[in-house]
A and B are shown apart, each in its own frame.
Chain A
Amino acid sequence: MIAIRDLVKKYSNLTAVDGLNLDIYESEVFGLLGSNGAGKTTTIHMLATLLKPTSGTAIVNGYDIVTQSAKVRSSVGIVFQAPSSDDMLTGYENLKLHSWLYNVPRQIRAKRIAEVLDLVGLTQRKDDQVKKYSGGMRRRLEIARGLIHKPKVIFLDEPTLGLDPSSRESMWEYIKRLVKEEKITIILTTHYMEEADLLCDRIGIIDKGKIIVLDTPSRLKEMIGGDVIKVRLSHEKQPNIELLKKFSFVHKVEQSNEDGLIHLSVEDANRNLPIILKYIDTEWVEYTSPTLNDVFLKSTGRNIKEEPEGGFMEKFARYDQK
């Protein structure tokens, strides 16, 4: 669906995107995960033909972003990092405008607008001016706008940036609905680990303009090692402990010197913990799964910031200055 080849973008002396190579398949949800300034927005802007690459190119929907930009533009939708609707117009009017711009055929225009409004749950508020919308509603309107022409690919640049936890969760629901109902390829950027984990089929971690790891969320986490189960035994001397080591899903069993608990490294603790508990008597159990944050930490040597510095408003202010 998308084939990125040696894509480079330089800003005077800063290389924002540094020789990117990446293939994105049809109907998958692909996550570009990276911290601030990693080059996510720059990459997406190039793929949507808003920015000319310094070198390299990409094929989107079979069209070259450098030489066939008009064709690329008709076949992709994009939701920008900062909302871009006209807030003097109503939600409906914004969608109408874009349905004209994308030349949605007259006969299906009204139906399509109703469809996308319904998809993002804005039908009730469609006749309110956008300036009266909340942040979450604005973002949803942007998604509706990006979908108006039934694109084959949609880019979502940080779709949940600046939303509170509950709006973020409902946004996830909308994105999942989108996957189910529209059957399109989604490329989303984020710096929220859980978001990438929850929504994406594959994740590429981007740092300093390069993809450093690329795989499914579960395999990325396996890379770090399996789940860790910690147990405190109800009585000492349980011969079955040795037996546990024979299971193929148990990698390691050891007594920790730090907390005095037994630590078991296992695959898929959700499924295997009950089995293990049948063999040993315990009075306390805990298990942890590796997170994408561990993956990020391991591959970049840094923690990803959960919130951009200063939070949402400052980020917008920074974005405004360009």
Chain B
Amino acid sequence: MEATSTILLNNVINVMTFTESLGRLYALWLREFKVFIRERSRLIASTFTPVLWLFVIGSGFGSTHPSTGVVDYQKFIFPGIVCMSVIFSSVFFGSYIIWDRKFDFLKSVMVAPVSRDIVFIGKTLGGMPNSLVQAAILLVIGLTIGINMDFISLVQTVIIVLLLSFSLTSVGLTIGSYIESLEGFQLIISFVVFPLFFLSGALFPLKSLPLWLLLLSAIDPATYAVDSLRAAILGISSYSFSIDVVVLLVFTIILAIFGSYSFRRMRAV
């Protein structure tokens, strides 16, 4: 009898701390969201480059690049370009943790009774709206090059964009948590972002890669995002959609664990 009531009590406490954590998570996310809404220039800057790639590389190389098979080259790279926009903006989002630290905002969060895991997840979720809106803009632009999507593929696209965004925002924040200066961060992410992008098969079919590059591309989470997005939008892929999503999910979890760990050991002052 007593044992049951203790268990019950513990559960009540757990539920309470759980809803408290959700509240804190929501508050931290909301702050990122408001900043995102008020800083629209961020969005324009980060959508511009992918659009440029879509039209310059897409139509420029399209005429000289026959090996993609069933669809024309511009359509072929369209899912890759969507992923590109998510890769760049998500990893770059890591720099905002450096800003938070510079302006002491982070200190005010860390002095509150909030676990570092919550701080990490809240910040990571804060990167989602940007990625989603960017993808939406690109999908609208996609209409002009003949990319038409039904409801199912739209839902699939949203899932993939969210997963990719979460995993790469984790990467960006992990790096940001170790680095003090913005300049240092810029330098380091350029070593991260370009390999992630080029190895993902965004611009060419993976089967044209030599084996050692193929192996590297297998440990690039963006590979699975590009592949599954191609499955969703164009109906062509190297692996199946569900395998891609499962692998991406595993990457997301692993990268989130890394991120939480680095936030826990991050110095508060």
Contacts and interface: CB of A to CB of B under 8 A. Distances in A.
Interface of A: 45, 48-51, 70, 73-74, 78, 80, 82-89, 93, 96-98, 100-103, 129, 145, 320, 322
Contacts of B253: none
Contacts of B269: 45, 50-51, 322
A93 B27 CA distance: 10
B31 A93 contact: yes
B35 A83 contact: no
Interface stretch (B102-110, B129-137, B138-146, B206-214): B102-110
B221 to A, nearest CB: 30
A98 B105 CA distance: 11
Contact of B108 (A88, A129, A145, A320): A145
B110 A96 contact: no
A168 B24 CA distance: 34
Contact of A88 (B27, B39, B110): B39
A145 B114 CA distance: 15
B26 interface: yes
Given A70-B113, A74-B113, A84-B107, A100 B24 contact: yes
Contacts, number: 71
Given A97-B30, A100-B26, A100-B27, A82 B110 contact: no
Interface string B85-104: 00000000000000000111
Interface in B45-90: none
Interface string B19-39: 010011011101100110011
Contacts of B219: none
B23 A103 contact: yes
A89 B34 contact: yes
24 contacts: A73-B111, A73-B113, A78-B111, A80-B104, A80-B107, A80-B108, A83-B104, A84-B103, A84-B107, A85-B108, A86-B105, A87-B103, A88-B34, A88-B38, A89-B35, A97-B27, A97-B31, A100-B24, A100-B27, A101-B27, A101-B109, A101-B113, A102-B112, A129-B38
